[in-house]
Amino acid sequence: MKILLVFDFDNTIIDDNSDTWIVQCAPDKKLPIELQESYQKGFWTEFMGRVFKYLGDEGVREDEMRRAMTSMPFTPGMAELFNFIRKNKKTFDCIIISDSNSIFIDWILEAANFHDMFDKVFTNPAAFNSSGHLTVENYHAHSCKRCPKNLCKNVVLVEFVDKQLQQGVNYTRIVYIGDGGNDFCPVTFLKKNDVAMPRKGYTLQKTLSRMSQNLEPMESSIVVWSSGVEIISYLQFLIKE
Cβ atoms of 202 and 182 closer than 8 Å: no
Per-residue pLDDT of the chain (241 residues; tens, 9 = 90+): 899 999 999 999 999 999 999 999 999 999 999 999 999 998 999 999 999 999 999 999 999 999 999 999 999 999 999 999 999 999 999 999 999 999 999 999 999 999 999 999 999 999 999 999 999 999 999 999 889 999 999 999 999 999 999 999 999 999 999 999 999 999 999 999 999 999 999 999 999 998 887 767 788 999 999 999 999 999 999 998 7
192 assigned to some structural domain: yes
28 is an annotated ligand-binding site residue: no
What is residue 42's predicted lDDT score, i.e. its pLDDT? 86
| Contacts of 158 by beta carbon, 8 Å cutoff, 6+ apart | 189
What is residue 28's predicted lDDT score, i.e. its pLDDT? 94
168 assigned to some structural domain: yes
Kind of pairing, strands 221-222 and 195-198?
parallel
Rounded CA gap, 45 and 197, in Å? 26
Give how many domains the chain has, as a whole number: 1
Question: Is 15 marked active-site?
Answer: no
47 assigned to some structural domain: no
107 assigned to some structural domain: yes
Cα 93 to Cα 13, 16, 43, 123, 175: the distances in Å are: 16, 25, 31, 17, 10
Cβ atoms of 102 and 124 closer than 8 Å: yes
179 is an annotated ligand-binding site residue: yes
15 is an annotated ligand-binding site residue: no
135 assigned to some structural domain: no
Q: What is the pTM of this model?
A: 0.95
- CATH number, domain containing residue 110: 3.40.50.1000
Provide the 10 A C-beta neighbour count for residue 240. 6
63 is an annotated ligand-binding site residue: no
158 assigned to some structural domain: yes
What is residue 219's predicted lDDT score, i.e. its pLDDT? 85
Q: Which H or E run contains 67?
A: helix 62-70
Rounded CA gap, 149 and 152, in Å? 8
Question: Is 63 marked active-site?
Answer: no
Rounded CA gap, 43 and 26, in Å? 21
24 assigned to some structural domain: no
The boundaries of the domain holding residue 11 are 2-15+74-124+146-240
Task: Please identify which of the residues 10, 93, 183, 194 carries the catalytic annotation.
Answer: 10
Provide the 10 A C-beta neighbour count for residue 131. 9
What is residue 107's predicted lDDT score, i.e. its pLDDT? 98
Q: Where are the beta strands (DSSP E) in 23-154?
A: 92-101, 120-124, 126-128, 134-136
Task: Please identify which of the residues 8, 93, 183, 194 carries the catalytic annotation.
Answer: 8
217 assigned to some structural domain: yes
The separation between CA 197 and the C-alpha centre of its own chain, rounded to angstroms, equals 13
Burial class (CB in 10 A: 0-12, 13-18, 19+), 226: middle
